[in-house]
Amino acid sequence: MAPAEILSGKIVSGQVRDRLKQQVAEMAEKFPGFRPGLAILQVGNRDDSNLYINMKLKAAAEIGISANHIKLPNTATEADVLKCIASLNADPAVHGFIVQLPLDSDKPINTEKITNAVAPEKDVDGLSSINAGKLSRGDLGDCFIPCTPKGCMELIRQTGVQVAGKRAVVIGRSKIVGAPMHDLLLWNNATVTTCHSKTSTLAEEVGKADILVVAAGRAEMVKGEWIKPGAIVIDCGINHVPDSTKASGKRVVGDVAYTSAKEKASFITPVPGGVGPMTVAMLMQSTVESAQRFLEKFQPGKWTIQYNQLTLKMPVPSDIEISQSCVPKPIDQVAKEVGLFPDEVELYGQTKAKVQLSVLNRLKNQPDGKYVVVTGITPTPLGEGKSTTTVGLVQALGAHLHQNVFACVRQPSQGPTFGIKGGAAGGGYCQVVPMEEFNLHLTGDIHAITAANNLVAAAIDARIFHELTQSDQALYNRLVPSVNGVRKFSDIQIRRLQKLGINKTDPMALTKEEVNSFVRLDIDPGTITWQRVLDTNDRFLRKITIGQSPTEKGFTRTAQFDITVSSEIMAVLALADALDDMKKRFGRMVVASSKKGQPVTADDLGVTGALAVLMKDAVKPNLMQTLEGTPVFVHAGPFANIAHGNSSVLADKIALKLVGKDGFVVTEAGFGADIGMEKFFNIKCRYSGLRPHVVVLVATVRALKMHGGGPAVTAGVPLPKEYTEENLQLVAKGCSNLNKQIQNAQMFGVPVVVAVNAFKTDTKAELALVVQHAKEAGAFDAVECTHWAEGGKGALALARAVQRASQAPSNFRFLYNVELPVVDKIRLIAQQVYGARDIELLPEAQEKVALYTKQGFGNLPICMAKTHLSLSHDPEQKGAPTDFVLPIRDIRASVGAGFLYPLVGTMSTMPGLPTRPCFYDIDLDPVSGGVNGLF
């Protein structure tokens, strides 16, 4: 008989590595930036372990696997190792990891407990009880197989001999080789016998084997004469025996007497160079397999989402009744459904969570989905249902048309929640739920903004007070105190020195003149633009006097409170695209001017770092869901009349990555298209770099009748009969406002779909008339919507129209170039968007134009503060007024956020409470302890 053919593990493992290298390259091509990740956890510093680990690291580098070696000291406890394993289990960049055995620790560690702590889906060594159990049960496609048995099977396949029907003998029953080898052969349909140290007829059993796998750990235990002629022999042994001819005095042999065995076998593995290289190759193969499973499971844009079935009732119950009748999905389930990893989600109870910004970096190479903005015609004081339409549209796209879709909406202010408007979660069967949690505090973002804003306000007045009452040296000693005899500038103080042109880092090296420049902001109290804020409609704080305590030594001044969501801190939150960007914007915020006319910033006050700390959690978008189970990001604030009134750039960017290139992100702009949408385009899109595909313009018969000359609409007062009876003449006349807002959207080069939000008092003829007028005015499409009463089903026509419009040509453009003079930019908005004949700058506004231009802020976009109840500055002028002059009474700068905001007319940023506020209807349920009332 011819000697056995040698099964070279070096050759076969080389082939395996080449194949894996190609697979990894294909992954990187299909998923740019992706690499399979392998972690190797070692305890102690054994020389043999170091050798094996280096082999694995080298193989990983050759294939393109990102390998990380984590080394714990030999003083590590079992708890230390388990903590490290938990971290690796949660790390989405790690697709496989192994614990290098044996554990070399001075402390007692239960090895089985450690190996079982490894997540089964990452256990590429196949040593956990779960993977072992699956293997023993025959679930080979759903488990990881220990690397040595897996390598043995690969070598057996190389022979071309069919395993099925053969007699196989395995010598050894260890958990790492013998026992899994038995199971593997068995489920490949061999008839398997396992032998071990207690087997009395070992030679006889070996003689029956067509396939022999030896893993006994005893040098040359199996003799050649035992072997059945023509058998396949796989030798897993690594033993050292004395050999005086070797420099080391020893040589490596297997568990099989190789010289005699190869004369009987048809195939045999050498030692070394047989099974050893295959073990490392199979570890790499399992890691690549794990990465492939990961990609299949977490492929961006590949959602497996469970929708909630609505049980519609007529008449439609109150919003809170509907919300509380819904059982929301656990929010961690929603996160998983949309492709977020557990470590990217911070749970705030069962129904809301914050999402880490790191998801943007993970998905940076993924294409964005379609971007849709929902806006409206000029509304009545009751609102026309933009939020409801936003939710209805995403429910239709998601739960009914099975598209990946995210809603990105604004967080409501407590002002309207308890004041005149109620909640902002949508309404009827189109709500963000739970609506009471949505409307009350949520995760505390607005409270964080209040705290941060008022910290700046306190710092301004405190600094003025200290500069008035202390000498230069006293100020310097307090600003740069000596600690244990050493003075040191903080980072923010170094930035101030650099701004002043003082390139020194030694506090003792400043001259008297430099100390004076450093310590004196010299704020002119009359130029302070930074106000205190409160998230409540407290009209009596619109104008106040501060500093009346005797401790303030006569330093009093007139100030005011604004509502929190108008704070520049909110604007920065909405427009920042990263934590670091938010911090830089905070530092640039201008709070006043010095007596020499120089801008004073938050960085000059030294508060930038503190603001970032207060806002570090608020910067993360809040995840919630709709009634039908579609995902929602709730982030940043409302009020496009006094602010820019859009949800955050970060929420939109994360959502666009999560939905994938065929998905949709629907975001909402505040109030009418003349303010919220204009600011969305000219400010938000300018800073985000995002380009919208569709504008959804919400219109109602009620609002159009108002614009057509109908009587005043007042919150809390029943509608006059003109609004509850058919009146086509009023509707037709009021369509002038609809036509103008369609033109406003088209001005930016984006297709417009009009959503006619139907109320129960509207007639078919009235609704049809609005649809007709919208199409004649140039809308891509116009559809009637009944989502308030029917949920997503009632917005299906709208959803299909949006799908079609998203495929239409779009030529997005800004209204103005920021390089234009400030007055020209204001005039363009007034004339092109509002329909004004011209603008009039009052003296204070003229002074501000000159000041901001001189200070270098003239190239910022414009954020008009104007009534939302008219295209003009006068809330009584309805329809589409023309030939009016727009008065600009003042201009302020939000330099950190990145815009100038002219004040139009007599707007107040602290609304007052009405005679009967919403909170009359809100209370705790005496039985359940939940919230009752009308939001």
Active site residues: 56
Question: What string of DSSP letters covers 629-654?
Answer: S-EEEE-S---TTTS--B--HHHHHH
Distances (CA, A) of 713 to 304, 719, 774: 45, 7, 23
**Secondary structure letter of residue 700 according to DSSP:** -
What's the CA gap between 95 and 124, in Å, rounded?
9
Greatest alpha-carbon pair distance for the chain in Å reads: 112
Question: What string of DSSP letters covers 461-504?
Answer: HHHHHHHHHS-HHHHHHHHS-EETTEE---HHHHHHHHHTT---
Peptide bond between residue 381 and the one before it cis (omega within 30 degrees of 0): no
Residues with Cβ within 8 Å of 423's Cβ and at least 6 positions away in sequence, in order, are 319, 412, 417, 435, 438, 439, 935
The phi, psi pair for 841, rounded to 5°, reads -90, 120
Report whether 701 contacts 731 (CB < 8 A): yes
Q: Kind and range of the H or E element at 612? A: helix 608-615
Residues with Cβ within 8 Å of 82's Cβ and at least 6 positions away in sequence, in order, are 113, 114, 117
Closest by CA to 393, choosing from 794, 878, 929, 920, is 794
Radius of gyration of the chain (CA): 36
Q: Kind and range of the H or E element at 355? A: strand 353-355
Residue 735 token pair: 């369509």
Residue 842 token pair: 């009052």
Report whether 438 contacts 425 (CB < 8 A): yes
Question: What string of DSSP letters covers 802-819?
Answer: HHHHHTS------SS-TT
Give ∠ CA 917-918-921 in degrees, rounded to 5: 120
Question: What string of DSSP letters covers 430-468?
Answer: EEEESHHHHHTTTTSHHHHHHHHHHHHHHHHHHHHHHHH
Residue 822's CB is within 10 A of a number of other CB atoms, namely: 23
User: What is the identity of the amino acid at 608?
Assistant: T
